[in-house]
Structure 1
């Protein structure tokens, strides 16, 4: 298998990327590389929302990147090549006929290969702390990646304002649960014991957003995204208690913020690199997106 090399220049860049497992579906990697970033400095992989706007999500992180010397890597999955929720949020795990794809074909394995291409380009090294943040559809992607594939190279995974959740149970089929994928109880426990953060805007409470999932499985989790975040954590804690294992998940509310990718990106950066969500006056979007 040919090794791809990525070596983004200083500042903003948009680089073509052909994943070896999906050679007929080209994607892009939007990066921001501070001038002082070295191979052992932090890296944040940012997963965009349903608008497939990885360039915007990269830009939401630029201030934090410069302040904390972070390489921002935003793999961008165009809707034309990766259509609808099945082609992005749900990771191409199950096809239209309900058949489970081979694990190496799941989109959740793509970010790790993007990082390997950056490592091959000597942009990152072996000692980096790697984190993943996803918002909205990207929050669905991030937590489902952790659920199905484990943490892989990531020291931390944060899901911001997902529209609905895959639950940590084998008794419901994917994407409502983890059933039907060949996973076992050990995989569920591994997920529950992973330090996942659910970042939830406390004003993400609209119920008539056309982009809010309204399938019966999603509605069963609550009427809005903020409520569904609480449902998810409560469900996980119940599963952990039933299984006799720990639940290391956190739900971090973001006061005053709704479904806004820019503000939630700032909140995530503050939580990870400053130890707390910044105050509202630092989170207010400057023309942010709603996805």
Structure 2
């Protein structure tokens, strides 16, 4: 009987507007704004609305306007919301907005998942994709927002490991008027110098977890992390170059390009010239990294944007082939070193470059007891 009542309550919560947050009576001053699109460049400097709903200008769902309480710990209430986080990275200049969903069945033992968005940086959308899954698996989901105006391609996709990257003389391919491919010669990719590791984006992940543990009164000692598309690029690089001691499982989904864990090529193709904080490459291969790729995220996939250079295309011309190539070459490097290889490769059957369906597949792997196989239907 209790389970049936609880199920009804959860169902009622999930039928609410995706951006509505439980506990509004405790926050009477809450405002709503349109997320960044063509007519909104900053969610902090735009028109405010008193209630959740759709933007009257573009029709996008309004999101809760983040608020920042200087020198005070944020509040995480049941349902969906946001808070701000001050990164300790030496190059961080502004607070980072973190969007979250806290399940109504939350307890101090609930799982904690960080979700890293794709190139659109739309952390609120990724949070919403995970809201029902957060309720189903009783996981507190948090997704940081790194605006493009503050975090360039090199600062985001490449995690700030290099000072910058420039693509010269490139050409583009379009589908329905939208750019879906960039083509550039290897000699026209100009990469900046390697930066100090205390400036790398990876540094934020443990800090966000520690803050969430504190304000949510969690007992968790570790967290899981999922990234899709550009977020997947960040996370497989996190597995290779990051120094986290608190991350448990890493799922990098539908990555567009890869950094190979060898010393033969310079970043971002390889890790030549980078001081790795791990004791050795053997330690990297023992981390719980899963490469999650859609079966249809191949050369025929038009969604997302893919970079093509002769060097990258040797890995494959689609995300699926590039993921397979990266996995096979990484396994070869690990075996040559005589170490263990704990990474997994999972292909999700019948799915392309789709963040919602990849989230479902990732949740099954993380919390649903699904095993990683060559083909995984959802």
TM-score by length of 2: 0.69
Q: Which runs of 4+ in 1 moved over 4 A?
A: 207-210
Contact persistence 1:140–1:159 (CA under 8 A)? yes
Q: Give the aligned partner of residue 121 of structure 1.
A: 215
Question: CA-atom RMSD, angstroms?
Answer: 2.3
Residue in structure 2 matching 1:148, options 241, 244, 268: 241
- Per the alignment, do residues 25 and 37 of structure 1 end up closer, same or farther by CA in structure 2, a change over 3 Å counting? same
Superposition pairs for residues 2-151 of structure 1, below 5 Å? 5-21=73-89, 22-84=91-153, 86-96=154-164, 98-125=192-219, 127-151=220-244
Q: Deviations over 1:212-242 (max 9, x none)?
A: 1213332121010000111011101110111
Q: Deviations over 1:43-64 (max 9, x none)?
A: 1100000000111111111111
Contact persistence 1:40–1:128 (CA under 8 A)? no
Contact persistence 2:334–2:341 (CA under 8 A)? yes
Q: Deviations over 1:147-168 (max 9, x none)?
A: 1014521110010010011111
Q: How many residues align?
A: 278
Q: Give the aligned partner of residue 274 of structure 2.
A: 181
| Higher strand proportion | 2
Q: Give the aligned partner of residue 271 of structure 1.
A: 365
Q: Secondary structure at the match of 1:213?
A: strand
- Per the alignment, do residues 112 and 236 of structure 1 end up closer, same or farther by CA in structure 2, a change over 3 Å counting? same
CA distance in 2, matches of 1:231, 1:23: 35
Unaligned runs of at least 5 residues, structure 1: 284-291
Contact persistence 1:75–1:111 (CA under 8 A)? no
Contact persistence 1:26–1:81 (CA under 8 A)? no
- Per the alignment, do residues 214 and 128 of structure 1 end up closer, same or farther by CA in structure 2, a change over 3 Å counting? same
TM-score by length of 1: 0.88
Measure how far apart 1:138 and its partner are. Answer: 0.2
CA distance in 1, matches of 2:112, 2:234: 18
